[in-house]
Structure 1
Amino acid sequence: MVAVPADGGGHPVGARAARRGLRVERQPARRPDRRRAGPGVPGGRRAGHARALLRLPLAHDADRRAHRLPRRRAAGRARRPERRGPPGGSRGRRRGVPVPAACLQAPLRRPRVQGLTDPAPRRMQLTGLHHVTLICADLERTSAFYRDLLGLALVRETTNDDDPDARHFWFGDADGSPGTLVSFLEYPQLDEGHVGRGSTHHLALAVDSVEELGAWRDYLRHHGHDCTDVMDRGGFHSLYLRDPDGHILEIASRTH
């Protein structure tokens, strides 16, 4: 109980306070907390029980005997003799049938690569380019450029083996040697090509020396064909120009 005066002051309860005219108010009695404390809750009946701490590592050592946890082997206790299988170990038997252990281990061998580790002579060998085939719109105009201007020989005039309606011209050296051949298929109805993946960037033709490139530059410009200056490309020198259909041509020296 708490004595509360009329003006709001507080004094202890007793006979003296009652004689002074203090009003006494009773506080509601506290009900006992009947909630049962569970395992691990301080103050609960089962808080100190070892089962509440079984998940803690220290509880295993403290309560090992109470819960029959496995003990360490006594120092003086002899170990049971180990069983020994047949000679060669368990790998030497398979379903009761003796198998040599060496047969169960496959030898580690590298796969043989044809042409790299085989001492036998190779029967296949790429020796270089045979020819390059391009598409043009007018074979007469193409012939005037590659034969009359650049000096290549018109080796063969034929039709496309896969499309007999399309003409097919071959240019190269006088003998038509593989590696010097450039052929053209005539398709005037096709659209102009676009640079992209799968397209060809340029075609390079060879000359013997760097000094000859200067002569080619002057010759092409004299006949009205634009070309670049002679450029150092690292291992060789070259210049660039375009043919009538827009193909990029490079004239490169064989030596630096």
Structure 2
Amino acid sequence: MQKRANNEFELGGFNHVSLLCDDMQRSVEFYRDVLGMPLIKTVDLPKRPGGGQQFVFDVGNGASLTLFWLANPTDGRPGHFNPPAGDQDPNVPQWNAAISSLNHVAFEVAPDKFDEYYLRLKEKGVGVGPIRNHDDSEAQEAEELHPGVYCRSFYFRDPDGVLLEFACWTRELTDEDVVHEPKTAADRVATATA
């Protein structure tokens, strides 16, 4: 992936992404034991109402994934801030999620390891969706890998139903890949009334 300059801030990528979990032990078993992420820090949070925990996993290149367990979390709104019960199919990203909610977390994998990792997760009993070859066709996906595919990915879920993705860039992105005008809140209203 070509590095592009940020003229405002010198960012080094993500420091961490934080998720809430229902059962820290179950989540540790998934992220550490199934996905192989080293657990690098644990924190007890006794000052939270009822208490809590924070566990940090190394996801590579200096980035981390932080999981929080809270004794008194707020209730989610099924279908808005979390997937509805029973809708845990890794084939179906939650594109109808509410604004400010998390859609999914994608982990960068090396292109030459992509197919191996897909099979490895299946062998570990993780339900994985189909491999997606993202391209600029009308369907936005190709059945087969070809020179126009710019990213390959597949989805799966953690024990709490958070949608995760393994993804890899397959070609260099250039200025020619930036061709769309950004939509606004007004565009959403116009689409809803059309």
TM tier, shorter chain? Answer: 0.5 to 0.7
Q: RCO greater where, 1 or 2, for CA within 8 Å and sep 6 or more?
A: 2
**Cα RMSD (Å) of the superposition?**
2.5
Q: What is the 5 A alignment of 1:1-150?
A: 124-150=9-35
Cα 1:239–1:162 change in 2 (3 A) is farther
Q: Is the 8 A contact 1:136 1:188 kept in 2?
A: no
SS in 1 for 2:28: helix
CA-CA distance at 1:237 after TM superposition: 0.5
Contact 2:52/2:71, CA 8 A, preserved across alignment: no
Q: Which runs of 5+ in 1 are unaligned?
A: 1-121
Could you list the runs of 4 or more consecutive aligned residues of structure 1 that deviate by over 2 angstroms after TM superposition? 122-128, 159-164, 187-195
Partner of 1:134, secondary structure, is: strand
Encode CA deviations 1:52-96: one digit per residue, 9 max, x unaligned.
Answer: xxxxxxxxxxxxxxxxxxxxxxxxxxxxxxxxxxxxxxxxxxxxx
In the aligned structure 1, how far is the partner of 2:99 from the partner of 2:33?
Answer: 32
**Is the alpha carbon distance of 1:124 and 1:252 closer, same or farther for their aligned partners in structure 2, counting shifts above 3 Å?**
closer
CA–CA distance in structure 1, aligned partners of residues 8 and 107 of structure 2: 30
Indicate the residue corresponding to 1:116 in structure 2.
Answer: none
Cα contact 1:160–1:185 (8 A) shared by 2: no
Q: Where do residues 195-234 of structure 1 align in structure 2 (5 Å cutoff)? A: 195-209=97-111, 211-234=112-135
Kindly state the Cα deviation for residue 254 of structure 1 after the two structures are TM-superposed.
Answer: 3.8
Aligned-residue identity in percent: 28
Q: For residues 156 and 134 of structure 2, what CA distance do their matches in structure 1 show?
A: 16
Gap change, CA 1:123 and 1:148, over 3 Å in 2: same
> What is the aligned partner in structure 2 of residue 253 from structure 1?
168
Mapped pair 1:152 → 2:37:
yes
5+ long unaligned stretches in structure 2 = 1-6, 83-96, 136-149, 172-194
Note the alpha carbon deviations across 1:111-158, whole angstroms, 9 max, x for none.
Answer: xxxxxxxxxxx7843332111111001111111111101111000011
Contact 1:138-1:188 at 8 Å conserved across structures: no
Q: Which letter does structure 2 place at the counterpart of 1:199?
A: S
SS of the residue corresponding to residue 18 of structure 2 reads strand
Which whole-Å CA distance do the structure 1 matches of 2:15 and 2:36 have between them? 19
TM-score, normalisation: structure 2: 0.59
CA contact (8 A) 1:208 1:255 kept: no
Larger Rg: 1
Counterpart of 1:132 in structure 2: which amino acid?
Answer: V
Determine the structure 2 residue equivalent to 1:183.
66
More strand by proportion, 1 or 2? 2
